[in-house]
Structure 1
Amino acid sequence: MPLRDLLAEAVAGMLQRPARSVLTALGTVLGVGTFVAVLGLTATATSQIDERFNELTATEVRVEDTGGPSAAMLPLAFTPDADARVRMLNGVTGAGVYWPVRLPAGATVRAAPVGRHADGQPVQVVAASAGLLPAAGARFTEGRPWDTFHDTRSEQVAVIGEGMATRLGITTLETQPAVFIGDVPFTVIGILADTERKADLLLSVLIPRTTAERIWGPPEDGQRAAMLITTRLGAARQVADEAPYALRPDHPEYFIPIPPPDPRSLRDSVSSDLGALFLLLAGICLVIGAVGIANTTLVAVMERTSEIGLRRALGARGRHIAGQFVTESAVLGALGGLVGTSLGTIAVVATSAARTWTPVISPATVAAAPAIGLATGLLAGLYPAWRAARIEPVEALRR
């Protein structure tokens, strides 16, 4: 049978029952549409990872104080001017030293004049240089951070997070509240509303590093200091290499810089995870669509038994009947693939527009999707076509 006649017979068979044909192709539409949408959204989300990554993580470097071989003899390797030394590096936008203060046994944090304790729970006290809060992107509800004047004079001032202020019963700075760390009073000069980095600072009491050193001494073994450095985009890895030499040119081995992770490895990992998960979902939809096409085509074979018998009686052979039904299911699959490709592309563009992303769709995906629909319909129609080809003319006409 010529291909033209085969296609004409297949189209005529589908148009006889248009509603059934639409429902039959719907499974392929969903499967192919999911396939295109999944690959497109995965590629689009992957392209956004670098941007989101660069916003914070790609501009953050952490430098840890190890003290080198003489760590026990050198509890604090950061010099008093460590912030200024690092800020001189090209690409650095902020830097600050910090460490958790180990308080004497039994020391608690309470507020004055409120006289309220922090719910009986341990409170972390952090010693920090003047550059830490600006580097962490701190925002204040009231007050301000301390500056180099407070740090140089070892002033007994403190900054607390909004959550910590609530625990201590401090609601405003107009009453000039203070907190007692053990028996040592500190005037609260600022209440943090939020930070872009190091969110744990919101539940801590922060005091100047020089004050902490004067009262409780340098950090003890196991509580080594660290430095938070913020950089411009693209400068983090270079700053990480240069920071130890800027801090201590005589002993750069005292420090271990931790640059941000490579965004490419993160992107590849996320892309792989998303792709595997959603491609599985698309495969399930395609299988459901293939089963739907096969089931509907098989029912059509049973309903058109008399038609098949008449065609056989007029001279059609088994391969002609099989070819007609395979072509019908293949055409349905191809149409479902085209519609699914269009809907999947629209879904990617609409989602990207809603999230203000740049849509990314591979041309190979758009070109392969209709072919996948065609293959799905072709495979789904093999068994029904084989059943139709085996129907004997005499038995078919008797029905």
Structure 2
Amino acid sequence: MNELRELLHTKAAEVPCYDVGGQVLRAARRRRRVVLGAPVATLAGVLAVVGVVAATAPFGGDVPIVAADRPALAVSLPWLPATVGEDDGKAAPLPTNRGVGAGSVLYARCALPCAPRLITEDGREYELPGPETMPPAAPRVPTLSPDGRWLSYPDAGGRYVLRDLTDARTVPTGTRRVVGWSADSRWAALADADDEDVTALLSAADAREVPVTLPADEQRPLAGLTRDGGVVFGPTEARANDAPVDLRIIDAAGATRTVRVDTSDLFGPDEELSGGPVLAADGTTVLFQVMRVRDGLAAPGDLVRVDLADGSVRARFRLPVGDADVRPGRTDGGHETGPTGGQHRSLVSALAEGAVLVHYQGPPPHAVEVLDLRSGDREVITSVADGVVWLRVRGQTV
């Protein structure tokens, strides 16, 4: 399901190092899916609270523009270390008979046979089991819940486990891995490892499962889970000129509704939607990223918030312009990264503190930033040491 939000070379660097080639391609395709969604508030409220610097977008319409160029001094992620990957010494294996405390970030320094590492909230590092076998369909993507308590990862035999890091309890999920979380970490979305379609919601506390079904002809990227067990899906494949696009919402009782978003006033002539949707922690907002396309090159750019109540665009957060090196390379009109990658910021999760961005300089990650969705201020929280090829923060599944 979740089909690529960005581009192949850069995303290959993001994909956990023990992933097989098929997963790299799936992660790439997942990032190509496009999205829209966001919180409920009037334009006046946005102007008053967010500090909009322009009431009318230069690409047309009345979308408030927020310059995300001020330091977010009031926002922090205290559970993240100052630097990820600073310790390149040997790490102890993740113990199976006791808790280690909430996790903060996952990372690795190289591809197979390197195993990923977990950094806990208190700064300790543990090595996760490395795969002994590499079934072609097993994507091997570990993920942490938004509160850091739960870790989904494949064991040495390639079977997935949901582990409570505060004790030794585990919930086996077989060939299914976690592809999404609710903001309170109570619910996890499970998908088969070989096709990524969400098949069930798992209650982490009691291992209860609730089936999730979409029409067979609808493949949609997962935006996130609501606190009461509802599911928000992004639109099916869409490009810049496709307007409107729609979000599909399935509530906890199984009722389905569609939110339609008119993109006619959202893009300039060289822009299109990029990436899978990300549901904000308040459950009323979906964030998506805009792709800038110029002279055949594409670069991930601004963030846009859309109201889930009526599909209206609440704000566009203007991020610093990057220089992603992307070349046309797909027959379906998509883009692939060029040989050297480039600089850009990728939306990876949305927590209570704000939208979490990973800043890339070329394929490797360079820093972790948080964007305050109330003020539009942006703060660098964590730097990434040289040699780290991928990382996953809390709530990140792609």
Is TM (by shorter chain) over 0.5?
no
Q: Larger helix proportion, structure 1 or 2?
A: 1
Q: TM-score range by the shorter chain?
A: under 0.3
Q: Which has the higher contact order (CA 8 A, sep 6+)?
A: 1
Larger-gyration structure (1/2): 1
| TM-score normalized with structure 2 length | 0.21
Q: Larger strand proportion, structure 1 or 2?
A: 2
| TM-score normalized with structure 1 length | 0.21
